[in-house]
Structure 1
Amino acid sequence: MSLFGQRVAALAGVPAERLERLAGGDLSEVLLLRRPDGRCTVAKGGPAIATEAAMLRALARVGVPVPMVEGEHEGVLLLEHIPNDNVFSPHAWADIGAAVRRLHQRTGERYGWPVDYRLGTVELDNRQGNDWALFWGEQRLVSAVRVLDRPWRVRVERLAAKLPALLPAAPEPAFLHGDLWSGNILVREGRLAALIDPACYGGHKEVDLAMLALFDAPPPAFWDSYGPLEPGWEERRPIYQLFPALVHLRLFGSGYAPMVERLLAAVGV
C-alpha cells in the first residue's frame, strides 16, 4: 500500500482491504474508502486540498452538483462518493449544459481567484486583475509554456502580444470550473450527477466551453441547453484551447505536441 493509502486507512480507522484505487487520478492519488457502516467515501491527496475543498463548496453555493466535502485532514481530502455509470445520454448533456450555464451566470468583478492553484506540476497564476487579454496571455499561456523548448515559447509569446486585438476587452468574469472535460463530469442513469476536480477562477465563459470541445464532442443537446454563444467564438476557441493543450504537453509528454501545433497554426503563429 502507498504511504497515502496508509494515511487514509489510519485516519479512517479501517483495514487496508477496505481501500481501492479509483480510475482516473492522473494528477493525484484517489482511493475509495468502504466504511464498516456501508458508506463509501473518496479520499484524494494533493498539496492544495483546502483550496479544492473551497472551490467545491463555492460551486455548490451556485447550485452546481458536486460531491459534498466530508473532511480535510493533513493532506487528505474526503469527499462524498457519487456513483457514475459514464453513460452520456442526450439528457445528461442537456443537464450539463444547464449546469454550466448556471455556473457562468455567476459573475465577479475581477479575473482570477483569491489564491494560486496547480494542475499537477503546472502552477496556475491566479492573481486577480481587470485586464483579460493580459491575464490569459501572461498568467495562462506564457506561464504554461515557460519551461518548454524555445520554439514553443517564442510562438506563444508572439500570440500573447496579439491578444488585445483577438479577445474581447472586458468579458464578464464568469465563474469557471477551470478543468472541464468529460473525465471531470459524473453521470448516472442518463442524468448529470456531479462536476468534480475543479480549478476555478473568474474568466471569459468561453474558456470552459473551449476545453470541453477540445477533448469531447458535446452534442446539440448540450449547446441548446447552454444557450447562444457570443459572435466570434469560433475564432477565439483555439486561443482558449491552447492552454489545456500546453498543460497536457507538459504533464503527459510529446504525444500532445501535434495538438499544440494544430492550435498554434489555427491562430496564425
Structure 2
Amino acid sequence: MSDLARHAAALLGAALAEVRPMPGGDLSHCLHLRLADGREAVAKTGPAPEAEARMLAALVAAGVPAPAVLAADGTVLVLERLPDAGGGSGAQADLGRVVARLHAATGERYGWQEDYAFGPVAIENAWSDDWPAFWAERRLLCHAGHLSTALIRRIERLAADLPNRLPRRPRPSLLHGDLWGGNVLVAGDRVAGLIDPACSHGHAEVDLAMLGLFGRPGPAFREAYGPPEPGEAERRPIYALWPALVHLRLFGAGYRGMVEGILEAAGV
C-alpha cells in the first residue's frame, strides 16, 4: 500500500483494508480507500491540500454539493467519497440550479484569500476592486514569460482593451474556477458534488465560459441557471482564454490552436 494511503488512513485514525487507484486529473493523484472500520474515503494530492479544503468548505457554505473534508494537511486531502454513477435526463437542469446557487454567493472584492495553482502554473488571487484590471493582470498578462512573442503581443492588445469589453464592477460571485464536466459528479438526475475547485470571486461568466470550453451545456442547464447577461457571447472568448492558456502551459503546443482560435474569436 502506498505511503499516501497509509498517511491518509493515519489522519483518520484507522487501519487500511483496501486501496484502489481512481481515475483523476493530470495534476493530482487520487486513491479510493476502504478502512478496516468499514468507512470509505478518497485521498488526493494537490498543489495545496489545506487551501483546497478551504475552497470546498466555501462551496458547502454556499449550499453547493461538494465532498466533506475528512482530514487535510500539507501533503494530502482526505474526502468523503460521493457517488458518480452518471447522469439522468434531469442532471443538466440540476447543474444549472447548482451553479446558480454557487454564483449567488458573493464577496466584497475580486480575488481570493490566498494564491493557488494548477500544478506548476500559479493562480494569483490578490484582491482588487477593478475587474478588468484583475482579469488582465492576474489571468492573462501573468503568462507573458511563458508564451511566444507573437501570442503575448496579441494578449497585450486584448488586455489593454478590457476596460472597454468587461464590466468594471460585476457582482463578485463565488467561482468554482475549474468548472468542466470532469469536475462534476452526477448520480441520476442530481449533481452529487463539485470537486477540484480553484475558487475566487469574480464575474459569474468565467465559470460559464469554462463549462463551455470542453463541452456544451444543454438548454436545460441555461433554463435552470437563468438568462444570459447582455453581451455574454462577446465576453465568452475573453474568459475562455485563461483556461486555454493554462492548458497550453501545462500540456504543450497541442493547445496553441485553441488559444489562437479564442484570440481570433475575441477579435485580436
**Range into which the TM-score falls when normalised by the shorter chain:** over 0.9
Q: 2:79 corresponds to which residue?
A: 79
Q: 2:30 corresponds to which residue?
A: 30
Task: Quote the offset at 1:75 in angstroms.
Answer: 1.0
Task: Quote the offset at 1:9 in angstroms.
Answer: 5.6
Task: Quote the offset at 1:37 in angstroms.
Answer: 2.6
State the SS of the aligned residue for 1:244.
helix
Letter matched to residue 113 of structure 1: W
TM-score (norm 2): 0.94
Q: 1:214 corresponds to which residue?
A: 213
| Alpha-carbon distance in 1 for matches of 2:51, 2:9 | 23
| Alpha-carbon distance in 2 for matches of 1:90, 1:220 | 12
| Alpha-carbon distance in 1 for matches of 2:134, 2:108 | 14
State the SS of the aligned residue for 2:86.
coil
Task: Quote the offset at 1:262 in angstroms.
Answer: 0.4
Q: 1:124 corresponds to which residue?
A: 123
Q: 2:56 corresponds to which residue?
A: 56
Task: Quote the offset at 1:27 in angstroms.
Answer: 0.6
Task: Determine what percentage of the aligned residue pairs are the same residue.
Answer: 54
Q: What is the total number of aligned residue pairs between the two structures?
A: 267
Q: 1:253 corresponds to which residue?
A: 252
Q: Structure 1 residues 114 and 260 mapped into 2: Cα distance closer, same or farther (>3 Å)?
A: same
Letter matched to residue 78 of structure 1: V
Letter matched to residue 151 of structure 2: W
Task: Quote the offset at 1:190 in angstroms.
Answer: 2.6
Q: 2:163 corresponds to which residue?
A: 164
Q: 1:39 corresponds to which residue?
A: 39
Letter matched to residue 33 of structure 1: L
Query: Within 5 Å, which residues of 2 pair with 1:168-207?
Result: 168-207=167-206
List gaps (5 residues or longer) in structure 1.
none
Letter matched to residue 29 of structure 2: E
Range moving further from structure 2, 225-234 or 30-39: 30-39
List gaps (5 residues or longer) in structure 2.
none
TM-score (norm 1): 0.94
- Please tell me whether the aligned partners of residues 20 and 32 of structure 1 are also in contact (alpha carbons under 8 angstroms): yes
- Please tell me whether the aligned partners of residues 109 and 129 of structure 2 are also in contact (alpha carbons under 8 angstroms): yes
Letter matched to residue 249 of structure 1: L
Task: Quote the offset at 1:253 in angstroms.
Answer: 1.4
Q: 2:263 corresponds to which residue?
A: 264
Q: Structure 1 residues 107 and 73 mapped into 2: Cα distance closer, same or farther (>3 Å)?
A: closer
| Alpha-carbon distance in 2 for matches of 1:145, 1:18 | 46
- Please tell me whether the aligned partners of residues 113 and 125 of structure 2 are also in contact (alpha carbons under 8 angstroms): yes
Q: 2:18 corresponds to which residue?
A: 18
- Please tell me whether the aligned partners of residues 52 and 197 of structure 1 are also in contact (alpha carbons under 8 angstroms): yes
Q: Once superposed, which parts of structure 1, at least 4 consecutive aligned residues long, lie more than 3 Å away?
A: 1-15
Letter matched to residue 32 of structure 2: L
Post-superposition Cα deviations, 1:68-118, rounded to whole Å, max 9, x if no partner, equal: 00011341111000020233x331111110011011111111000010011
Q: 2:145 corresponds to which residue?
A: 146
